[in-house]
A and B are shown apart, each in its own frame.
Chain A
Amino acid sequence: MRYQVVIAGFGGQGVVFLVKVLALCAGNRDIPFLGTENHGMSQRGGAVSCDIKVGDFSNPVIDNGQADLIIGLDANEALRNLHLLKQGASVISNAKEAFPALPFEVTLVDANAKALNNEFPIQGLNVFMLGITLAKVEGFPFSVEEVKQAITQMNAKVAQQNIEILDMAMEYAKSL
Chain B
Amino acid sequence: MKQTLMGNDAIAWGLVHANVDMVSGYPGTPSSEILGVVQKIKKQLELPIYAEWGTNEKVGFEVAYAGAIAGKRTCATMKQVGLNVASDALMSASYIGNLGGMLLIAADDPGFHSSQTEQDSRVFAKFARIPVLDPATPQDAYDMVKQGVALSEKFQVPVMMRPVMRVCHAREIIEMDAETNFKPNEGKFVREVSRWAGVPRDGRLRQGHEVLDRIETIKQYNWEELLAPEFAKCKGGKLLILTSGTGYAFAKETLDDLGLKADIVKIKMPYPLPEAKIREEFEKYEQVLVIEEPYPCVEEQLAHPKLHGKNTGTMHLIDEMKKEHILKAFQSMGFYAGANIYEVPKLDLGFEVPARPPALCPGCPHRDIYYAIMKVFKKRKSIYPSDIGCYTLALSQGAIDSILCMGASVSMASGFSLADPDKTVVATIGDGTFFHSGIPPLLNAVYQGHKFILVILDNSTIAMTGRQPTPERFHQAIDIGKIVEGMGITCMEHTYSYEMQDNIDFMKTVKTQFESPEQKGPLVVRVKQFCILDNERKDDWVPGIFAEVDPELCVACDQCTTVYKCPPMAYNAEGKIEIDPFLCAGCGGCLDVICPTDAFIVDEKKTEVKS
Identify the interface centre among B349, B356, B463, B532: most chain A CB within 10 Å of its CB: B356
Q: Which residues of B contact A35 (CB under 8 A)?
A: 170-172
Q: Is B113 an interface residue (CB 8 A)?
A: yes
Q: Which residues of B contact A36 (CB under 8 A)?
A: 166, 169-171
Contact A63 B324 (CB under 8 A): yes
Contact A42 B347 (CB under 8 A): no
Within 8 A of B (CB), among A35-61: 35-47, 57-61
Q: Which residues of A contact B353 (CB under 8 A)?
A: 76, 79-80
B39 to chain A, nearest CB (A): 20
Which size class do B's interface residues fall under? 35 or more
Chain A, residue nearest B392 (CB):
A41
Please judge, given known A-B contacts A59-B249, A122-B582, whether A64 and B360 are in contact too, CB under 8 Å: no
Chain A, residue nearest B568 (CB):
A45
Q: Which residues of B contact A60 (CB under 8 A)?
A: 166, 170-172, 249
B584 to chain A, nearest CB (A): 11
Chain B, residue nearest A60 (CB):
B170
Bound-state Cα–Cα, A159 to B235, Å = 52
Contact B113 A42 (CB under 8 A): no
A12 to chain B, nearest CB (A): 8
Among B85-93, B121-129, B193-201, B337-345, the stretch that binds chain A is: B337-345
Contact B322 A33 (CB under 8 A): no
Contact B166 A32 (CB under 8 A): no
Contact A64 B344 (CB under 8 A): yes
Bound-state Cα–Cα, A112 to B583, Å = 12
B312 to chain A, nearest CB (A): 23
Q: Is B359 an interface residue (CB 8 A)?
A: yes
Contact A79 B349 (CB under 8 A): yes
Chain A, residue nearest B169 (CB):
A37
Contact A26 B173 (CB under 8 A): yes
B294 to chain A, nearest CB (A): 15
Within 8 A of B (CB), among A1-43: 10, 12, 19-20, 23-24, 26-27, 30, 32-43
Bound-state Cα–Cα, A83 to B345, Å = 8
B533 to chain A, nearest CB (A): 6
Contact A116 B581 (CB under 8 A): yes
Contact B362 A27 (CB under 8 A): no
Contact B349 A100 (CB under 8 A): yes
Contact B533 A58 (CB under 8 A): no
Q: Which residues of B contact A103 (CB under 8 A)?
A: 347
B400 to chain A, nearest CB (A): 13
User: CB-defined interface of A62-92 with B at 8 Å, one 1/0 digit per residue?
Assistant: 0111100000000011011011000000000
Q: Which residues of A contact B582 (CB under 8 A)?
A: 112, 115, 122
A31 to chain B, nearest CB (A): 8
Contact A43 B390 (CB under 8 A): yes
Q: Is B250 an interface residue (CB 8 A)?
A: yes
Contact A46 B356 (CB under 8 A): yes
Contact B342 A65 (CB under 8 A): yes
Contact B171 A43 (CB under 8 A): no
B546 to chain A, nearest CB (A): 14
User: CB-defined interface of B304-327 with A at 8 Å, one 1/0 digit per residue?
Assistant: 000000000000000001111000
Chain B, residue nearest A12 (CB):
B583
Contact A33 B392 (CB under 8 A): no
Q: Which residues of B contact A79 (CB under 8 A)?
A: 349, 353
Q: Which residues of A contact B393 (CB under 8 A)?
A: 41-42
Q: Is B543 an interface residue (CB 8 A)?
A: no
Q: Is A102 an interface residue (CB 8 A)?
A: yes
Q: Which residues of B contact A77 (CB under 8 A)?
A: 356
Q: Which residues of B contact A58 (CB under 8 A)?
A: 136-137, 248-249, 252-253
Within 8 A of B (CB), among A85-137: 99-100, 102-103, 112, 115-116, 122
From B2, B113, B356, B359, A38 is in contact (CB under 8 Å) with B113
Bound-state Cα–Cα, A60 to B250, Å = 9
Please judge, given known A-B contacts A32-B173, A58-B249, whether A24 and B464 are in contact too, CB under 8 Å: no
Give the dominant DSSP class at B's interface. Answer: loop
Bound-state Cα–Cα, A32 to B249, Å = 14
Q: Which residues of A contact B486 (CB under 8 A)?
A: none
Contact A24 B349 (CB under 8 A): no
Contact A82 B171 (CB under 8 A): no
Contact A41 B253 (CB under 8 A): no
Q: Which residues of B contact A100 (CB under 8 A)?
A: 349-350
Bound-state Cα–Cα, A61 to B254, Å = 12
Q: Which residues of B contact A43 (CB under 8 A)?
A: 361, 390, 463-464, 533
Q: Which residues of B contact A20 (CB under 8 A)?
A: 4, 171
Please judge, given known A-B contacts A58-B248, A100-B350, whether A44 and B342 are in contact too, CB under 8 Å: no
Q: Is B411 an interface residue (CB 8 A)?
A: no
Identify the interface centre among A36, A38, A99: most chain B CB within 10 Å of its CB: A36
Q: Is B551 an interface residue (CB 8 A)?
A: no
Bound-state Cα–Cα, A80 to B362, Å = 22
Contact B532 A47 (CB under 8 A): no
Bound-state Cα–Cα, A15 to B396, Å = 25
Within 8 A of A (CB), among B560-601: 567-568, 581-583
Q: Which residues of A contact B567 (CB under 8 A)?
A: 44-45
Please judge, given known A-B contacts A23-B4, A33-B173, A63-B324, whether A44 and B362 are in contact too, CB under 8 Å: yes
B12 to chain A, nearest CB (A): 17
Please judge, given known A-B contacts A64-B343, A65-B344, whether A40 and B358 are in contact too, CB under 8 Å: yes
Chain B, residue nearest A32 (CB):
B173
Q: Is B114 an interface residue (CB 8 A)?
A: yes
Chain A, residue nearest B165 (CB):
A36
B390 to chain A, nearest CB (A): 7
Bound-state Cα–Cα, A65 to B323, Å = 12
Please judge, given known A-B contacts A36-B166, A45-B359, whether A83 and B173 are in contact too, CB under 8 Å: no
User: CB-defined interface of B447-466 with A at 8 Å, one 1/0 digit per residue?
Assistant: 00000000000000001100
Q: Which residues of A contact B463 (CB under 8 A)?
A: 43
Bound-state Cα–Cα, A33 to B5, Å = 10
Bound-state Cα–Cα, A32 to B4, Å = 10
Within 8 A of A (CB), among B214-269: 246, 248-250, 252-253
From A44, A59, A80, A83, B250 is in contact (CB under 8 Å) with A59
Q: Which residues of B contact A19 (CB under 8 A)?
A: 171
Bound-state Cα–Cα, A38 to B361, Å = 18
Q: Which residues of B contact A33 (CB under 8 A)?
A: 4, 171-173
A-B contact pairs, 7 of them (CB 8 A): A35-B171, A43-B533, A44-B532, A45-B359, A59-B166, A63-B322, A76-B354
Nearest 6 interchain pairs by C-beta: A59-B249, A35-B171, A58-B249, A44-B361, A45-B567, A65-B344
